[in-house]
Chains A and B, each alone.
Chain A
Amino acid sequence: MSVTPPVTASTLLRVDGLRTEFTTDQGPVTPVDGVGFTVAAGETLCLVGESGSGKSVSALSIMGLLAGNGRVTEGSVMFEGQDLAGLPEPELRRIRGHAIAMIFQEPMTSLNPVLTIGDQLAETMILHLGLTKAEARQRAIELLEKVGIPRAGAVVDDHPHRLSGGMRQRVMIAMALSCRPKLIIADEPTTALDVTIQAQILRLMRELSAETGTATIFITHDLGVVAEMADRVAVMYAGQVVEETDVYTLFDQPKHPYTVALLKSIPHITTPAGDRLTPISGSVPSLLHLPTGCRFRERCPHAMDRCATELPELRPLGGGVGEGEHSVRCWLYDETGTAVPA
Chain B
Amino acid sequence: MTAVEDVGPLLQVRDLRRYYPIRKGVIARTVGQVRAVDGVSFDVYPGETVGIVGESGCGKSTTGRAVVRLEAPTAGSVLFDGTDIATLSPARMRRLRTELQMVFQDPYSSLNPQIRIGDLLAEPLIAHKRLDRAGARAKAAEMLATVGLPKLSLDRYPHELSGGMRQRVGIARALMLEPRLIVCDEPVSALDVSIQAQVLNLLKDLQGEFGLTYVFISHGLGAIKYISDRIVVMYLGKVMETATTAEIFARPRHPYTEILLDAYPEPDPRLRDRERIIVEGDVPSPANPPPGCVFHTRCPYAQDICRAEAPPLNAAGGARHQVACHFPLAQEAS
Contact = CB atoms under 8 A, between A and B. Distances in A.
B225 A273 contact: yes
A196 B200 CA distance: 24
A127 interface: no
Interface of B: 55-56, 162-165, 192-198, 200-201, 204, 219, 221-223, 225-226, 245-246, 249-250, 259-272, 278-280, 282-283
B195 A283 contact: yes
Q: Top 3 closest A-B pairs, CB basis?
A: A224-B265, A267-B222, A279-B197
A166 B226 CA distance: 28
Given A224-B266, A228-B265, A272 B222 contact: no
Contact of B282 (A166, A195, A225): A166
B122 to A, nearest CB: 26
Interface stretch (A106-114, A197-205, A312-320, A321-329): A197-205
B225 to A, nearest CB: 5
A279 B282 contact: no
A203 B278 contact: yes
Interface string A79-106: 0000000000000000000000000000
Contact of A278 (B197, B219, B249): B197
Contacts of A273: 225-226, 245-246, 249
The B interface is mostly helix, strand or loop, or mixed, namely helix
Contacts of A247: 269
Contacts of B200: 267, 277
Contacts of B262: 199
A39 interface: no
A195 B267 contact: no
Contacts, number: 137
A164 B225 CA distance: 28
A268 B280 contact: no
Contacts of A287: none
B270 to A, nearest CB: 7
Nearest to B283: A194
15 contacts: A50-B192, A198-B263, A203-B278, A222-B265, A226-B267, A228-B269, A230-B269, A261-B194, A265-B194, A266-B267, A268-B222, A269-B221, A269-B261, A279-B196, A279-B198
Contacts of B192: 50-51, 221, 283-284
Nearest to B272: A228
Contacts of B268: 227, 251, 268, 270
Contacts of B280: 148, 200
A197 B263 CA distance: 8
Contact of B193 (A167, A203, A266, A272): A266
B197 A266 contact: yes
A164 to B, nearest CB: 4
A263 to B, nearest CB: 7
Nearest to A48: B193
Contacts of A230: 269
Given A224-B266, A284-B192, A196 B279 contact: yes
Given A279-B194, A283-B162, A283-B192, A268 B266 contact: yes
Contacts of A251: 267-269
B298 to A, nearest CB: 8
Nearest to B250: A272
Given A227-B265, A251-B269, A266-B197, 18 more contacts: A50-B193, A51-B192, A195-B221, A196-B279, A221-B192, A230-B269, A248-B269, A261-B194, A262-B193, A265-B196, A265-B197, A267-B197, A268-B222, A269-B221, A272-B250, A273-B225, A280-B195, A283-B164
